[in-house]
Copies of this chain bind each other. A is one copy, B any other.
Amino acid sequence: MAIIIFQPSGRRGEVEAGITILEASCQVGADIEALCGGRRICGKCKVKIEEGRYEKYGIVSSMEHVSEWQEEEGGFITPLEKKEGFRLGCCSVIQGDLLIFVPEESRAGKQVITKGARDIPIEHDPAVKHYYLELDPPTLQDPTGDFERLCEELEEKQNLKDLSCDFFALRQLSKCLRRGDWQITASIWMDREVIRLQPGKVDHHYGVAVDVGTTTVAGYLCDLTTMKVLGTSSLMNPQCKYGEDVMSRITYHMMNSEGLKRMSDDIIEALNVIIENLVQQTWPEKGKAKSERNATVEMQVLEKDAGLLRLREEDIEDMAICGNTVMHHILLQLNPEYLGIAPFPPVLHRSLDIKAREIGLKINPSAYVHILPIEAGFVGADNVAVLICEEPYKGEQVQLIVDIGTNGELVLGNKDRLISTSCATGPALEGAQLSSGIRATWGAIERVKISYETQEVDYKVIGREAWKSFSKPEEMRAKGICGSGVLDLLAELYSSGVIDKSGRFRRDQKSNRFRISPDTGEAEFVVAWADETSINKDITVTQRDIRQVQLAKAALYAGCKLILKRMGIKTPDMIKVAGAFGMHIDRTKALIIGLLPDCDPERITFVGNAAGDGARIALLNRGKRLEANWCSRHVEYVELTLEPDFQDEFIRAMQIPHMTDAFPHLEGIVPGEILNQK
């Protein structure tokens, strides 16, 4: 055993010698960024060994308490840094007590999460309904059993037949009936099973809808009677510590025999925190204390009246969950291994109804959790949720729905036909895997302008209203570039003439911001100088970074192009951009760099967290659950890599701005002019 202390967080704990510093950070809760999941390829987990200490002999050289330098570390750590004690957390095996400093850029930032609930018209038909009944007590002439007595009344008054009763609820029945003097409220799931019994008359009942994202988990507390959203709560997916993207999670499962269970336990625990938060929000006095303790959690009480509710976990009688296929499989501990290998078959497509107690979700133990169905290995229940929310299959107009996340999910179609596909955009569009990329957290650069004349940079960071041009350098405290900033940056680099159509830096650079990195020898452009940052070094974009973003946008664009071709059309009637990421991007800039296919910018709308909305719809309307199952098997899934034109389209889509016959108004425009058009 070894005692490990992480600075500046002060998180500490005793861990087993022989594990890496990255693993130790997970164990003691000092989350270090690990985009690649510990595969030694992202270099994000850089830490500084401060000192190692023998319990018996006092402080000695730290180097005896950590394993030997690994070749891979040289790719991310300069010789000078090495001398100072820098190591990669994933390469350094603990051999004794250690004090470790985690530089700010290596810290897994607390993300700014914006997954609110939209107002969407939903027909009231929840899977769980309440029935209030007044029964005749048994007599010697009619000693019928309690449950049959209840059923007779439900059949007579409500025409509900062949009801069963949850085993746990059944245990409460006899007491409930007598405590309520033979007046009782029964919660019935799908007109099929009694899942809860309460003495007397109970008017409201409640449910929770959740969207489990690879990065963010968002939950909504709903009144199943009024359909109102009573509260929202979001958290980072705690699985992020095993790797940023779905493939890292699959890898983690395959490399660790207990990995699947560990990741599942983590997400279940996160869901329970969300449930607890949502319930706490109905307790005004406690809710406040809670929100002060957990600054990361949105604590909006959307209805002030909700303060009078004072719900308990057992009052949550239904739950609907969506998530991408990998999140779905991990949550349920279904083997995700084959999702990572062609032909990527999921374990199952259809929706599941599982007792909350069976998967450890702390709502009413007799309640069912409805897990939405999935389309394919890379188009999951989150996409199905988007579909039942946007309902492209009900109209004449051809919609293109683009959900940009770590994976790009596309659906195209109308009432006649639906086609979906998935593009391996990678995490570049979200800011990950770039040299200065970070999540959408405090200090992340989210808007960029570059002057065509001077190539001077102006920018805005999350958490500060004022742009740099209106601030002192030290006020900016920039930390890196996030997804929306990356898109802005690419468009601005091009518009200002820093890069050319192919994405290469132009040779004739006027600005001192362009330079060849002394460390890497690579061309780079300084977005923010060291004195404007909280990490004390220049925030730059490199030629390699630009290439990454181009690859990502090309994958998305080529995907759109190919399914449009399949459908036999050139442009969709409308484009809907879903996902939190979409909320922050600039439509025109997205068209400029060729992220989205050619379309009148007016016909592009942002539908926000449509997946979460879809989950809420499934919670409140059981017909929509059937519709979801129909959707999931009705959509034609297109495997892009099987399309003969894919390579050609992909390579063509690397260009900025993208050239097509359908996009003539951007053809030949001088970069500076485009900005002026806005």
A147 at the interface (CB under 8 A from B): yes
A170 close to B348 (CB less than 8 A): yes
A335 at the interface (CB under 8 A from B): yes
A337 close to B174 (CB less than 8 A): yes
B143 close to A345 (CB less than 8 A): yes
Q: How far is the CB of A187 from chain B (nearest CB, A)?
A: 17
A376 at the interface (CB under 8 A from B): yes
A349 at the interface (CB under 8 A from B): yes
A347 close to B146 (CB less than 8 A): yes
Name the contact of A167 in the complex, choosing from B142, B345, B358 (C-beta under 8 A): B358
By a CB distance below 8 angstroms, the chain B residues around A504 are none
Name the interface residues of A379-426: CB closer than 8 Å to any CB of B.
none
Name the interface residues of A327-370: CB closer than 8 Å to any CB of B.
332-335, 337-338, 342-350, 352, 354, 358-359
A148 at the interface (CB under 8 A from B): yes
**Cα separation A516 to B551 with both chains bound (whole Å):** 107
A145 close to B637 (CB less than 8 A): no
Q: How far is the CB of A420 from chain B (nearest CB, A)?
A: 13
Name the contact of A147 in the complex, choosing from B140, B174, B350, B642 (C-beta under 8 A): B350
By a CB distance below 8 angstroms, the chain B residues around A153 are none
Q: How far is the CB of A596 from chain B (nearest CB, A)?
A: 27
Q: How far is the CB of A464 from chain B (nearest CB, A)?
A: 46
| Contact (A344, B376) CB under 8 Å given A167-B354, A170-B332, A333-B171 | no
**Cα separation A142 to B348 with both chains bound (whole Å):** 14
By a CB distance below 8 angstroms, the chain B residues around A350 are 147-148
- Nearest CB to that of A142 among chain B residues? B343
A175 close to B140 (CB less than 8 A): no
B175 close to A335 (CB less than 8 A): yes
**Cα separation A139 to B144 with both chains bound (whole Å):** 57
A573 at the interface (CB under 8 A from B): no
A128 at the interface (CB under 8 A from B): no
By a CB distance below 8 angstroms, the chain B residues around A170 are 332, 334, 347-348, 352
Name the interface residues of A134-165: CB closer than 8 Å to any CB of B.
138-149, 165
| Contact (A335, B174) CB under 8 Å given A165-B348, A348-B145 | yes
**Cα separation A313 to B667 with both chains bound (whole Å):** 72
B347 close to A140 (CB less than 8 A): no
**Cα separation A348 to B169 with both chains bound (whole Å):** 12
A147 close to B335 (CB less than 8 A): no
Name the contact of A344 in the complex, choosing from B143, B147, B374 (C-beta under 8 A): B143
**Cα separation A420 to B344 with both chains bound (whole Å):** 61
| Contact (A140, B334) CB under 8 Å given A170-B347, A350-B148 | no
A345 close to B146 (CB less than 8 A): yes
Name the interface residues of A626-650: CB closer than 8 Å to any CB of B.
633, 637, 639, 641-642
| Contact (A345, B138) CB under 8 Å given A170-B332, A350-B147 | yes
By a CB distance below 8 angstroms, the chain B residues around A347 are 145-147, 170, 173-174
B343 close to A171 (CB less than 8 A): no
**Cα separation A374 to B148 with both chains bound (whole Å):** 12
- Nearest CB to that of A378 among chain B residues? B143
- Nearest CB to that of A148 among chain B residues? B349
A377 at the interface (CB under 8 A from B): yes
Interface size for A (C-beta < 8 A) is: 47
Q: How far is the CB of A141 from chain B (nearest CB, A)?
A: 8
**Cα separation A670 to B345 with both chains bound (whole Å):** 87
By a CB distance below 8 angstroms, the chain B residues around A639 are 140, 143
By a CB distance below 8 angstroms, the chain B residues around A332 are 167, 170-171
Name the contact of A349 in the complex, choosing from B145, B342, B345, B633 (C-beta under 8 A): B145
- Nearest CB to that of A337 among chain B residues? B174
| Contact (A145, B333) CB under 8 Å given A352-B167, A639-B140, A642-B140 | no
A139 close to B343 (CB less than 8 A): yes
By a CB distance below 8 angstroms, the chain B residues around A140 are 342-343, 639, 641-642
By a CB distance below 8 angstroms, the chain B residues around A338 are 146, 174, 178
- Nearest CB to that of A329 among chain B residues? B174
By a CB distance below 8 angstroms, the chain B residues around A147 are 347-350
| Contact (A345, B377) CB under 8 Å given A174-B334, A175-B335, A333-B171 | no
**Cα separation A167 to B332 with both chains bound (whole Å):** 8
Name the interface residues of A297-345: CB closer than 8 Å to any CB of B.
332-335, 337-338, 342-345
By a CB distance below 8 angstroms, the chain B residues around A349 are 144-145, 147-148
A348 close to B148 (CB less than 8 A): yes
Q: How far is the CB of A450 from chain B (nearest CB, A)?
A: 43
Name the contact of A143 in the complex, choosing from B145, B343, B358 (C-beta under 8 A): B343
Q: How far is the CB of A125 from chain B (nearest CB, A)?
A: 21
Q: How far is the CB of A267 from chain B (nearest CB, A)?
A: 16
Q: How far is the CB of A324 from chain B (nearest CB, A)?
A: 14
| Contact (A145, B642) CB under 8 Å given A167-B354, A174-B335 | no
**Cα separation A146 to B377 with both chains bound (whole Å):** 11
Name the contact of A144 in the complex, choosing from B146, B167, B345, B358 (C-beta under 8 A): B345
**Cα separation A175 to B338 with both chains bound (whole Å):** 10
**Cα separation A642 to B358 with both chains bound (whole Å):** 46
By a CB distance below 8 angstroms, the chain B residues around A149 are 345
A348 close to B146 (CB less than 8 A): yes
By a CB distance below 8 angstroms, the chain B residues around A376 are 143
Name the interface residues of A68-93: CB closer than 8 Å to any CB of B.
none
- Nearest CB to that of A359 among chain B residues? B167
Q: How far is the CB of A638 from chain B (nearest CB, A)?
A: 11
- Between A and B, 13 residue pairs with Cβ closer than 8 Å are A140-B639, A140-B642, A143-B343, A143-B376, A143-B377, A144-B345, A146-B338, A147-B347, A167-B354, A167-B358, A173-B335, A174-B334, A174-B337
- Nearest first, the 7 closest Cβ-Cβ pairs linking A and B are A147-B348, A143-B343, A138-B345, A145-B346, A140-B343, A174-B335, A145-B349
Other 10 A-B pairs with CB < 8 A, given A145-B347, A170-B348, A173-B334: A138-B343, A139-B343, A140-B342, A140-B639, A140-B642, A143-B344, A146-B346, A165-B348, A171-B334, A171-B335
